[in-house]
């Protein structure tokens, strides 16, 4: 996994999807729920507008006409939107011929499915089949929230608790009595590089793990699901819970579209397992391990999607990061998956962190998760029943930075969890919540260890002409992949190469 060594975001959904071949997309888009979910979740605003405009057009639209919609200064944004649509195989661009200019249209399956999703109709049962059997009245929304929250919290604890225990007192011990996630999930975390095996046989959190922890809940769920898809891809006949996990490319499509379907289900409702295909039924135990669905042990004919599943494709901005969600737990706002995750295990969390100008930290908390997170970047010295104390040191912060946490993440975490007293005092004086010296120092510590900044990608060189270089560099900039260029040497560096390759091919054909 060399390519992921410093790009944790490569686990993310869009990049996973972009790597899929066109045929897979054609199969995926046969499901209205998938087309709808991709439309809702994966597209920027402008791209959505294009899709809406193209959806009911009987004929392909000429690219020239599309350009008329766009003001000159919006050209970059427009090209980027179309680039995304093309990489997700939502639109296809028809190359110009003698009697026709270059045209753009929605791909057939996507168009058909999205129309079906919007209009209803069809017998695709793509949005789930509700169970007709009587439902256990104990299984209501609070029950599901509680259950999913507990499972997810266990997974987060497992990642945090795998922090190596340093030689100071306080963190790392005293809260290992958790049941923890299932073995299959643990293996997945290990395989995905979120934790790694330490010297003593235990596991340690890795830099991906840190990033995972600080992601919003929704992104965390996807990270795990994509790891799971990749694992299934790799091990064709791996046994999971006795049932073979099928992993041919078709089943891969099945798995993905099932996830998208789950996202369209209704929270608190029972759905019928017998309406599912075998592949999908085999996925259920694993999904229950992740806390995405709940299966009543007394009635295995039914499955209940939890909030983790039903918010899979809702807008990511509505969800919170772990730090923010800890915060949200205090406000008892049960609206989203983020607050669900935090709310379950730390009911009386109050985010009471005090930081002094001498780098000492006092945190009025007994939440193991918060203590564990503090322990990631602070040296904890003492622990009382309702409070821990410690200090930020150059070593503790640098250690965290080495593991992939950024100075800004630390600062915003501290600011978000500052003690109300600190917040009030700062507001009265009109100063920032955290002491400026501390904030500056954390940033300086980061700069110290960031003497070189790596970017993985591709270097383009040896252009035939200045024009070729200029055109291509401009295009790379427009689709947002350009990292660096040098006009004098005619070199440039990009993050991704696929679209440029297509562009080169098209250009070659065109003359």
Residues that bind another protein (CB under 8 A): 2-3, 5-6, 358-360, 379, 381, 391, 393-394, 448, 451-464, 468-469, 472, 483-484, 486, 489, 491, 493, 497, 500-501, 504
Question: In the complex with another protein, which residue's Cβ is closer, 35 or 500?
Answer: 500
Residue 204: left if φ>0, alpha if ψ -120 to 50, beta else—which one? beta
As measured in angstroms, the least distance from the Cβ of 80 to another protein is 20
As measured in angstroms, the least distance from the Cβ of 384 to another protein is 14
Question: In the complex with another protein, which residue's Cβ is closer, 157 or 445?
Answer: 445
As measured in angstroms, the least distance from the Cβ of 425 to another protein is 22
Q: CA-CA distances (angstroms) from residue 206 to 203, 403, 428, 453?
A: 9, 6, 40, 19
Question: In the complex with another protein, which residue's Cβ is closer, 140 or 487?
Answer: 487
- Are the C-beta atoms of residues 310 and 340 closer than 8 Å to each other? no
Question: In the complex with another protein, which residue's Cβ is closer, 278 or 448?
Answer: 448
- Are the C-beta atoms of residues 476 and 501 closer than 8 Å to each other? no
As measured in angstroms, the least distance from the Cβ of 102 to another protein is 23
Residues 429-452 as b/e (b if ≥16 CB within 10 A, e otherwise) read eeeebbbeebbebbbebbeeeeee
385-391, long-range: CB < 8 A, 24+ apart: 387/362, 387/363, 388/170, 388/171, 388/362, 388/363, 389/360, 389/361, 389/362, 389/363, 390/168, 390/170, 390/360, 390/361, 391/358, 391/359, 391/360, 391/361
CA-based nearest residue to 476, from 462, 458, 501, 494? 494
Question: In the complex with another protein, which residue's Cβ is closer, 269 or 360?
Answer: 360
As measured in angstroms, the least distance from the Cβ of 454 to another protein is 5
As measured in angstroms, the least distance from the Cβ of 414 to another protein is 17
As measured in angstroms, the least distance from the Cβ of 56 to another protein is 39
Question: In the complex with another protein, which residue's Cβ is closer, 140 or 468?
Answer: 468
C-alpha 389/C-alpha 384 separation (Å) is 8
Question: In the complex with another protein, which residue's Cβ is closer, 150 or 398?
Answer: 398
């Amino acid at each position: 996994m060399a390519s992921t060594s410093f790009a944790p975001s490569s686990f993310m959904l869009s990049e996973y999807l972009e790597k899929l071949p066109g045929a897979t997309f054609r199969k995926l888009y046969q499901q209205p729920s998938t087309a709808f979910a991709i439309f809702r979740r994966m597209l920027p605003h402008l791209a959505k507008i294009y899709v809406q405009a193209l959806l009911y057009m009987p004929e392909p639209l000429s690219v020239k006409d599309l350009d008329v919609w766009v003001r000159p200064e919006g050209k970059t944004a427009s090209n980027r939107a179309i680039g995304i649509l093309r990489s997700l195989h939502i639109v296809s661009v028809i190359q110009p011929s003698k009697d026709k200019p270059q045209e753009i249209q929605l791909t057939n399956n996507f168009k058909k499915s999205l129309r079906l999703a919007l209009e209803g109709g069809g017998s695709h049962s793509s949005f789930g089949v509700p169970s007709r059997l009587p439902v256990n009245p104990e299984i209501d929304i609070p029950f599901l929230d509680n259950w999913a929250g507990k499972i997810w919290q266990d997974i987060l604890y497992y990642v945090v608790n795998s922090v190596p225990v340093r030689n100071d007192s306080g963190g790392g011990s005293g809260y290992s009595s958790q049941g923890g996630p299932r073995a299959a999930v643990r293996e997945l975390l290990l395989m995905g590089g979120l934790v790694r095996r330490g010297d003593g046989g235990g596991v340690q959190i890795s830099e991906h793990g840190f990033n995972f922890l600080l992601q919003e809940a929704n992104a965390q769920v996807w990270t795990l699901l994509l790891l799971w898809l990749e694992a299934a891809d790799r091990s064709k006949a791996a046994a999971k819970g006795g049932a073979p996990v099928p992993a041919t490319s078709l089943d891969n499509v099945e798995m993905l579209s099932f996830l998208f379907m789950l996202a369209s289900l209704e929270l608190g409702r029972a759905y019928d397992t017998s309406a599912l295909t075998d592949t999908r039924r085999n996925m259920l135990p694993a999904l229950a391990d992740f806390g995405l669905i709940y299966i009543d042990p007394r009635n295995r004919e039914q499955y209940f999607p939890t909030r983790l599943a039903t918010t899979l494709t809702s807008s990511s901005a509505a969800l919170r990061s772990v730090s923010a969600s800890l915060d949200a737990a205090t406000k008892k706002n049960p609206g989203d998956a983020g607050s669900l995750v935090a709310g379950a295990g730390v009911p009386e969390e109050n985010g009471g962190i005090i930081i002094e100008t001498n780098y000492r930290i006092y945190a009025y908390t007994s939440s193991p998760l918060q203590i564990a997170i503090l322990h990631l970047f602070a040296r904890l010295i003492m622990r009382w029943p309702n409070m821990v104390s410690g200090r930020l040191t150059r070593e503790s912060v640098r250690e965290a930075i080495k593991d992939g946490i950024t100075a800004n993440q630390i600062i915003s975490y501290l600011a978000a969890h500052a003690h109300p007293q600190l917040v009030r005092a700062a507001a009265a004086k009109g100063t920032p919540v955290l002491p400026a010296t501390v904030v500056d120092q954390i940033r300086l510590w980061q700069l110290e260890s960031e003497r070189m900044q790596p970017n993985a990608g591709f270097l383009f060189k040896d252009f035939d002409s200045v024009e070729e270089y200029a055109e291509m560099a401009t295009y790379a900039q427009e689709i947002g992949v350009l990292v660096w260029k040098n006009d004098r040497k005619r070199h440039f560096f990009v993050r991704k190469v696929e679209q440029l390759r297509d562009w080169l091919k098209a250009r070659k054909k065109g003359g």
